[in-house]
Structure 1
């Protein structure tokens, strides 16, 4: 009986894993497939799998929709938002992990509770504020918003990683005369480098994929790829061929980044899990 159960497990779990993987992969596969169809072929049932492929959607995207400007805006806002978030979150997580107070847990819960606030609830105040300050449709406004909405998660992750570092190492540094910034730069960051890198990668992915605020706080100058995707709507309906091409070009870089950095992501997300 034990041998039969073991054999069943060896077969059933891989099959189940493949089924789940295919379910998650199918929308991406369909999006890429549709990107090589014309808008007319994309809505014809007889052309679901058999059609004449074309690169016209990608040519239109680069020639008529200025894809590279939107892509550069996505890179600029995501990179600088990630850097700013880490610059604020690392000292904050350090203070909470190694110099906690009786209100530390309450502060962490309060920070996490801000993620429960519906974005639509603060849409008008944010729009009014950015327009009043002349920051609407600027990289600075988008970077600040992306940083603030991701900072609670980043602080929580870094706090978890830092708590796994023995406090005696930090105290030994203090005894050797290292100041606070020296402890962070010379002791904490090297020891928690894997966790910091994985947190930075996840923060970058969250910033890249953010659509709600990048669409509503930009028009042209700071518009990201989310704005380009949203622009493929018309009163006549959705242009599925062009929309799929733009979406593929938007998610492609982040999928490639995730593929090549999956080792660092797994190592960082499991940091401190094995004693």
Structure 2
């Protein structure tokens, strides 16, 4: 892992544990322990309005694992740029990819201090590969792409798997989320892939709107988008079958861990409302 000298010398940061944070709320939904009372209180309020929020989070993680298996095993991708990493939850992206190809390199990007605090312990690479963590914001693609961590770990002249899991719905329209994705993809070589998920209100409009309002009331921007709006993030890319799909319906055959199946399979009774999250993988020609 790369941690530059300025990061090593950085004074302790204020985690603002009195204020909820989207990554820590997500960690709570996943059953993690890296969250605080303010996060748990806000998350429980979301669950009151949108009881399927925990299922949405679990389905996101299961999709990430399946999509990574596809990219590593079938598409031959050996380097990944994961933006909006959040608090690491094992198996992490590099663990899934390096199980297939130990030489895989991964750069994790987030601007959450608690993720940086856990980076050394939780994002340890296979000796044959490499991982790096970059403290940066998706709103600033140039800083990400020109960083020492990215330039020193990835070869942008070769295909990269760009991962934007459960992050785009925290970018309202006034941040130009489509333009941000275009800037990232423009810097990647042909043959690269975009993997993304996005919360939607297509199946439970009132519940999803109420949940988004709880986030916004706590200073966390949130915007659900329709299937058509999500598809626009993949404009100019070739969608991998089955295209834009609900997270649990995207290639459930790629599940290789029995423990994942409750978050993956429609055969256990998950409905579209339960998942309420679009997912897709697109290839850059």
The structure whose residues are more often helix, as a share, is: 1
TM-score by length of 2: 0.26
TM-score by length of 1: 0.26
